Structure 1
């Protein structure tokens, strides 16, 4: 056998079939993703039987025999089992205080990228955070993570009670602080901790000067205080001296702010106007404890809307401690009642009284809906000082559609019904051999002309199975092989066989499922001779 014949035989074994008769030459061998042609060639055509060799591209390694292709009938066919697979770089390994994630590939092979990230409290100090598997191995050295450090406390007035060497505060480190001067106070918490972001959970506090209360200023502002030495940010409670008052009592509470105190001012109490005591009058504007001082203005109104003030609705307090005018009282007033225009028409209803051009206040008029329309609201409304009570409405009935009923395989329980009033139930039933998932769906309520028709679906019949009958030692007196849904059948035990409960011999077809009873062999002493029958039953 010549060389070409040997190659064709090898190709036939490789691909499980013999080469057909060669008819033509091949074009340039194909360019493949993982391999390239071995040896450059300027040929544009190759004769049948010509063999070329491939080598793996950079980043890929050959597995198996040398990769060869042969020209056969104008097509290049591979005649060896060799293949090119991506080169492996191996696991690059973990880094201290960090983790990595493999991307692009499912293994550490050519083209795979490993991306590193630092754990909380650490930061990447390398220029790159990823490496790539190349034809020559991993592209660069592994990155490095270093702990994030919180800055040292530099305020010279603050003493750090707990620290570490070189003041390298890392995530989770806690320090306690206090003022070097015992007369000063921290303007923040005495304990802070370093977070994973390399920052303190709160800016380190500084120390503030205490406040010294001035006796001369208190005398000047007509105030007094119990404690004269106040720390920074501490609350100071002032009091007005006797016979003096302050308009806004909130100003009596001040804070020491970095050695500075804001002093409130109390004024000599002015004469007060008396409160308005008439129970029929409502005061619309007032102040705490109804202490009406000179210049204070109040607005008044009657609590009963049917009454009227017998004086001005606004008065003010004079410097003499008296109102500019005696506060008014409330008196009854007669209001003329307004008539009503005729009520508007209501859809599907009618007024039961002849319409007039106007109706006196207090007049009533009755209303009714036309047949089968249900009244919603009052059947009688009243004119109340120019306004009618809320108008009634007529709710639309439902008209039963025989096409929907039959089309949904249903029928009415009460076949005489055609119109159904609003909020009334309609009872449906499924036609024979049809059923519904929930019988509650057969009870439908009419809602203002809308009715959702239930739908029954066809139930599967049952087929009497001879194997089940014989296997359970039973027979049936039946002349047909099929049972409709919900149809019953009577089973019988074969002679010398019996069943614990005769009720079990009654079976019902339910959506294609039939429960077969099982008869068991009777004890010898329970068997009695039965009279012979003239004909055997039809058994299916």
Structure 2
């Protein structure tokens, strides 16, 4: 193996001396390192390659923590072996995703700040750079109101900046309307920014109130109409277990699948006395158990078990539970 590597190296230097091949010297992997490579085995010929790995928070162009770098006629490829990995999971004074999103160096994301706030220099996008997000994920307070970005609407009057108490009128595009069913609207510039941004959507695509769920409800105040893309969160009443998707989304005038609220199991004193039972570790009063919960029983003093020992650890299944018995 060593003799073979020496022979390859000598051949490369001879070819390079005659101008046939430009050898590749030992590569410097910024934010990474070569795997099992020695400096004495360089230079390398065109087409030869080595595995390398990237440091924490950096990834290869293929979105993996390791890759391979190849010697070409001009340079090592990829030219930037390790790209910064940026995570977007929080935006101060702005909207951010519920689950973290990952981006590689050079990729950008459009963000939305709360009313009255904006990124520095009125920027609307953040870019993942070698040193992280630029600008940083922080919306700062705005001294005035800039012309907002309209979606499915146009401004009736245009201007570069608006002072507090200035009004901006807008109209929806043909076939679109506001949440209230109008085709026009207005917004007021306040100390904290615009009173509300325009929301125009196709009337045929809006949804009515979210579907009702037995023993459950949505966590927000219900509206008469919801634009496409709206999302509501469901929750169950006390002791009921939520099964299925927690959120429902409006799309094409329909709501996505809604969850179910599974019935709890109710253990009453009458049921316990009938089977000469006690609740293990709990008071012998009415007890509520969620679906999937294990309920432990024991015989009352002076009574012996009738059913198997395993039956004294019963599981609640959608409102029903099989009780053990004592005599």
What interval of TM-score do these two structures reach, taking the shorter chain for normalisation? 0.3 to 0.5
Q: State which structure, 1 or 2, has the greater radius of gyration over its C-alpha atoms.
A: 1
Q: TM-score, normalised by structure 2?
A: 0.35
